[in-house]
Amino acid sequence: MNTPPANDRLLRALLRQPVDRTPVWIMRQAGRYLPEYRATRARAGSFLALCTTPELACEVTLQPLQRFPLDAAILFSDILTIPYAMGVGLSFETGEGPKIERPIRSAADVAALPVPDPHTELRFVIDAVSLIRRELGGRVPLLGFAGSPWTVATYLVEGGSSRDFVRIKHLLYGAPATLHALLDKLAQATLLYLNAQIAAGAQALMLFDTWGGVLTPAAYREFSLAYMQRIVAGLTRERAGARVPVILFTKGGGAWLERMAGTGADALGVDWTTDLAAARRQTGGRVALQGNLDPAVLRAPPAVIRDEVGRVLASYGPGPGHVFNLGHGVTPDVDPEHVAALVAAVQELSPACHR
Ligand code: CP3
């Protein structure tokens, strides 16, 4: 038997089971806003060295838990590990974000892309998962993750971050079969990768679809949601007698929550542009909801943070099925004391939602 973690609030909330208070974790909780993260990264030499060295990935995964009473750990890694393992020449230049040396733009480029074996080319991630589980000693659950095929494809095709997604939209409207072939390969690779994370000990999973919101509703269904649905359908949903919940997060996807709930995911991430009460009505209790404090609130004084946490809790309302989080990742300029204020406010204010 896989004994449940001592603190199983996150897993219970994702399955809409009763909890004593709302669980809380924060997207990018291990990151540059923490001085201890910056120190470990300096020691590692680079962000990629952190990701590819299990001991260092484990160390930074645990850092936010040593500071704050969070209800989950999230694997320290990146959604671009799959492109890295595909051998497209990934690098991260400080202050510039990811760069891909050999972008994927033609049918021939797609055909030449390998589907990485998670146990060899992505072994460093799988080893990090086992090591983190061991070091956590069952205190809180460990979340694994991957990018959605569409979101990872935007980096592969654009060659890095993008504002306007001109190149991938050129493919989408001009050569949709080529884009589908790429998404198909990414979906295969992601499914193998996530199932390997589950086998190594990940207790819940999240798919990050950061750029699904730049699509039209029809294109979202065809080029993003359909591939996430395929992944959800192929995942190992139960391991050692425990359900492995899966969270889908499309940033800017507030209008499509009902369709997202139809994929069979257990929970949906919601950004701050959607009201949780409306999201709850739209999805009719079929899924749990995760979110959705505006990350910019973390720049405000602690008293404002507390009020805004209260507003998010009130917007979800009473009852189970809510996981507190930001609507997107914490930014590097945030004072860690403000994150402490957020976590304390959830602990103080949320028990009233569960009586
Ligand atoms: O949440 C966590 O604490 C786990 C770690 C995590 C990282 N990236 C670490 C990271 C997770 C879950 C991600 C996901 C990720 N990576 C996404 C989806 C979520 C989102 O934020 O929208 C995306 C789009 C990426 C791709 C990526 N990685 C970009 C565009 C960048 C550069 C921009 C930036 O924030 O610097 C990264 C780098 C990255 N990934 C950093 C961290 C901590 C910063 C690297 C550094 O230390 O310099």
Q: Which residues are catalytic?
A: 28, 32, 41, 78, 155
* Rounded-to-integer distance, Cα 49 and Cα 56, Å: 8
Q: Would you say residue 298 has pLDDT above 80? A: yes
Mean of all residue pLDDT scores within the chain: 97
- Each residue of 15-42: pLDDT tens digit? 999 999 999 999 999 999 999 999 999 9
Q: Would you say residue 303 has pLDDT above 70? A: yes
Contacts of 143 (CB under 8 A, 6+ apart): 10, 25, 72, 73, 74, 75, 202, 203, 204, 205, 206
* Rounded-to-integer distance, Cα 128 and Cα 75, Å: 8
Q: Would you say residue 2 has pLDDT above 80? A: no
Question: Ligand 1 test: best mutation among 29, 78, 158, 272, most atoms within 8 Å of CB?
Answer: 78
CB atoms within 10 A of CB 246: 23
* Rounded-to-integer distance, Cα 251 and Cα 229, Å: 16
| For residues 144-169, average pLDDT | 98
What would you measure as the largest C-alpha separation in the chain, in angstroms? 59
Whose Cα sits closest to atom 2 in ligand 1? 28
* Amino acid, single-letter form, for residue 194: L
Q: Would you say residue 277 has pLDDT above 50? A: yes
For the question of whether the overall pTM of this predicted structure is more than 0.95, the answer is yes
Ligand 1 pocket check for 89: Cβ under 6 Å:
no
Phi, psi of 251, rounded to the nearest 5 degrees = -70, 130
- Each residue of 63-81: pLDDT tens digit? 999 999 999 999 999 999 9
* Rounded-to-integer distance, Cα 200 and Cα 265, Å: 21
